[in-house]
Chains A and B, each alone.
Chain A
Amino acid sequence: MSTSGTERRSRIPLPMTTSEREQQVLDRIDKARRRRPKVREERITLSHGAGGKATQTLVEAVFLDAFRNPLLEPLEDAAEFTVDGATLALTTDSFVVSPLFFPGGNIGDLAVNGTVNDLAVSGAKPLYLTAGFILEEGFPIEDLQKIVDSMKAAAAAAEVDIVTGDTKVVQRGKADGCYINTAGIGAIATPGRLGIASAKPGDAILVSGAIGDHGITIMLARGELDIEADLESDTASVHGLVAKLLAEVPGVRAMRDATRGGVATILNEIAKAADVAVVVDEKDVPVRTEVRGASELLGIDPLYVACEGRIVVVVDGAQAQDALASMRAHPLGADAAIIGRVADDPPGLVLLNTTFGGTRIVDLLVGDPLPRIC
Chain B
Amino acid sequence: MRFVDEFRDAEKARALSAKITGLCEPGRQYKFMEVCGGHTHTIYKHGLEDYLPESITLVHGPGCPVCVIPMGRVDDAIHIARQPGVLMTSFGDMMRVPGSGGNFFDSNAEGTNIRMVYSPLDSLKIARQNPDLRVVFMAIGFETTTPSTAMTVLRAAAEGIENFSIFANHVTIIPAIKAILDSPDLRLDGFIGPGHVSTVIGCRPYEFIARDYRKPVVVAGFEPLDILQSIYLLMLQLSEDRSEVENQYSRVVPWDGNMVAIRAINEVMELRPYFEWRGLGFISHSAMAVREKYAQFDAERIFRLPGLRVADPKACQCGEVLKGVLKPWECKVFGTACTPETPIGTCMVSPEGACAAYYNFGRFSRKRVREASRHEHVGN
Q: Do chains A and B touch in the complex (CB under 8 A)?
A: yes
Listed in ascending order, the chain A residues whose CB lies under 8 Å from chain B are: 19, 21-23, 25-26, 28-29, 32, 40-41, 43-47, 53-54, 57, 202-204, 224-226, 277, 279, 281, 284, 292-293, 296, 298-299, 317, 320-321, 324, 338, 341, 343, 345-346, 349, 351, 353-361, 363, 366-367, 369
Interface assignment of B360: CB less than 8 Å from any CB of chain A:
yes
C-alpha gap A341/B374 in the complex (Å): 11
A349 cross-chain contacts in B, Cβ below 8 A: 364
Further pairs besides A358-B50, A363-B340: 4, Cβ < 8 Å: A45-B108, A224-B122, A279-B375, A341-B378
Q: Is the CB of B96 within 8 A of A366?
A: yes
Please tell me if the beta carbons of B46 and A317 are within 8 angstroms of each other in the complex: no
How far apart sit A40 and B117, CA to CA, in the bound complex (Å)? Answer: 27
Give the docked Cα–Cα distance between A298 and B351 (Å): 13
10 A-B Cβ contacts within 8 A?
A26-B335, A28-B336, A47-B96, A47-B105, A296-B4, A341-B378, A346-B369, A355-B8, A361-B363, A363-B340
Top-7 shortest CB links A-B:
A358-B47, A29-B335, A320-B379, A357-B10, A43-B109, A360-B361, A45-B105
Closest B residue to A202 using CB positions: B378
Contacting residue for B340 out of A53, A284, A338, A354, CB 8 A: A53
Tell whether, in the assembled complex, residue A360 and residue B45 are in contact, meaning their CB atoms are under 8 Å apart: yes
Give the residue of A26, A226, A293, A320 whose beta carbon is less than 8 angstroms from that of B329.
A26
Q: Which of A19, A47, A204, A281 has the most CB of B within 10 A?
A: A47
Q: Is the CB of B375 within 8 A of A338?
A: no
> Among B105, B117, B372, B379, which residue has the most Cβ atoms of chain A within 10 A?
B379
Knowing A28-B335, A358-B51 are in contact, say whether A367-B375 is a contact too (CB < 8 A). Answer: no
Report whether B341 and A359 are in contact in the complex, using a CB–CB cutoff of 8 Å.
no
CA distance A225 to B373 in the complex (A): 38
The answer to whether A317 and B378 touch across the interface, beta carbons within 8 angstroms, is: yes
> B378 near A320 (CB under 8 angstroms)?
yes
Contact of B341 among A54, A224, A298, A354 (CB under 8 A): A54
- Residue pair B108, A358 in contact (C-beta under 8 Å): no
Q: In the complex, what distance in Å separates the CA atom of A332 from the CA atom of B360? A: 33
Contacts of A324 in B (CB 8 A): 379
Question: Does the CB pair B368–A356 fall under 8 Å?
Answer: no
CB-nearest residue of chain A to B54: A19
CA distance A54 to B362 in the complex (A): 21
Given A345-B371, A358-B48, A361-B360: A40 in contact with B379 (beta carbons within 8 A):
no
| B359 part of interface (Cβ distance < 8 Å) | yes
Interchain CB contact under 8 A, A359 and B336: no
Chain B residues 348-380 with CB under 8 Å of chain A are: 351, 359-365, 367-373, 375, 377-380
**Cβ–Cβ contact A281 & B377, under 8 A:** yes
Which residues of chain A have C-beta atoms less than 8 A from B336's C-beta? 28-29, 32
Q: Are B378 and A351 in contact (CB under 8 A)?
A: no
Report which of B327, B341, B362 forms a contact with A360, defined as CB distance below 8 A.
B362
A292: nearest chain-B partner, CB-CB: B1
Chain B residues contacting A341 (CB-CB under 8 Å) are 375, 377-378
B80 at the interface (CB under 8 A from A): no
Tell yes or no: B239 within 8 A of A by CB. no
Does B359 contact A354, Cβ atoms closer than 8 Å? Answer: no
Residues of B within 8 A of A355 (CB): 8, 10
Complex CA–CA separation, A369 to B117 (angstroms): 11
Q: Assess the A351–B372 pair: CB atoms within 8 A.
A: yes
Given contact pairs A32-B336, A292-B1, A357 touches B14 in the complex (Cβ within 8 A): yes
Q: How far is the CA of A23 from the CA of B330 in the complex (A)?
A: 11
Do B105 and A46 touch (CB < 8 A)? yes
Chain B residues with CB under 8 Å of A43's CB are 106, 109-110
Give the complex CA separation of A316 and B341 in angstroms: 34
A317 to B378, CA, bound (A): 6
A45 contacts which of B47, B106, B340, B377 (Cβ < 8 Å)?
B106
| Given A41-B106, A358-B46: A277 and B372 interface contact (C-beta under 8 Å) | yes
B50 near A44 with CB under 8 A, answer: no
Contact B379 A317 (CB under 8 A): yes
Given known contacts A57-B341, A354-B45, A359 and B378 CB-to-CB distance under 8 angstroms: no
Q: Is B342 interfacial (CB-CB < 8 Å)?
A: yes
B105 touches A356 (CB 8 A): no
What is the chain B residue whose CB lies nearest that of A29? B335
| Cα(A356)–Cα(B46), bound, Å | 6
Whether B289 sits at the interface, judged by CB under 8 Å, is: no
Q: Would you call A346 and B8 a contact (CB within 8 A)?
A: no
A-facing residues in B97-129 (Cβ within 8 Å): 105-106, 108-110, 116-118, 122
How far is A292 from B2 in the complex, measured between Cα atoms in Å?
Answer: 12
B224 at the interface (CB under 8 A from A): yes
Give chain A nearest CB distance to B40 CB in angstroms. Answer: 13
A356–B8 CB distance below 8 A: yes
Query: Closest residue to B225 on the A side, CB-wise?
Result: A356
Question: Is B85 in contact with chain A by the CB < 8 A criterion?
Answer: no
